Amino acid sequence: MDRIPDDPEARREWLDRWAAEQDERLGAGHPAAPRRLRVSIARTIESQVDRLERLAERVFDRRLDTSGVVRWIPELADVDGVRYVPSAWHVLPRALRAIGAGEGDVFVDYGCGKGRIVHQAARWPLKRVIGVEVSPVLADVARRLVAAHRHEHRCKHVDIVVSDAAKFTVPDDLTIAYLFNPFRGRTLEGVLSGLVESIDRRPRPLRLIYVSPVYGDQVLATGRFRLVKWQRGGLRDVRISRAAIFEGC
């Protein structure tokens, strides 16, 4: 099987598949003890990975203060928002590598919160990085983060915009959009419509990195995005810790 996924939910699914494979390999005639042993091993592996994840969160978030959950953001009450939870550290670098991001790319993080993804993206040699956040309080945290760590950024054009994501004017040079399930309903519809209208104004490749793609079907329902496929030397479905990469068409 593939290596153990980093995402907790994906990891549990991986462990369930692994246990099922062992059951099939050993056969129904074996006593219950081997299964208990396998379950014990699986739980031990999961607990160790969880511990490493928590350690990585403390290490990577040091001096940044982007961790933690914000359960109530007044501005989100009217814009189909969900609570603020920062993206895992490993997701964006993998996604940017998968799509071959580079100096010509303009990146927008919809629902940037405290600015973790904006900071990560700015450390790549991108043309421009923009964070869109409806909460002035969170946007102010993101601005302070960008200002304090600007010396670490390879991208020199980084902005934080306070706006309802659905009303944000999509730059017609935008090539990479990022969502960590920040909203749903009409807000997501507005974001997708804005992206499509921008592509129509200026046809170009546009990739959508959608982490925890709960409403991925809504993206496909526009008829203007397809799920990117990536194979060894070719194409296959790209899912990075429950992230989906779509391409505008």
**What fold is seen in the domain 74-248?**
Rossmann fold (3.40.50)
Domain borders along the chain are: 8-60, 74-248
**Tokens describing residue 100:** 């071959």
Beta bridge partners of 159: 130
pTM for the model:
0.73
Output the tens digit of pLDDT for each of the chain's 249 residues. Answer: 456 666 666 666 676 676 666 656 555 555 555 666 666 776 666 566 566 666 666 666 767 777 665 555 665 555 565 667 778 888 899 999 999 999 999 999 999 999 999 999 999 999 999 999 999 999 999 999 999 999 999 999 999 999 999 999 999 999 999 999 888 889 999 999 999 999 999 999 999 999 988 888 999 999 999 998 543 333 344 444 478 999 998
Which stretches of the chain are DSSP H helices? Answer: 8-26, 32-60, 91-99, 116-122, 136-148, 185-201, 216-221
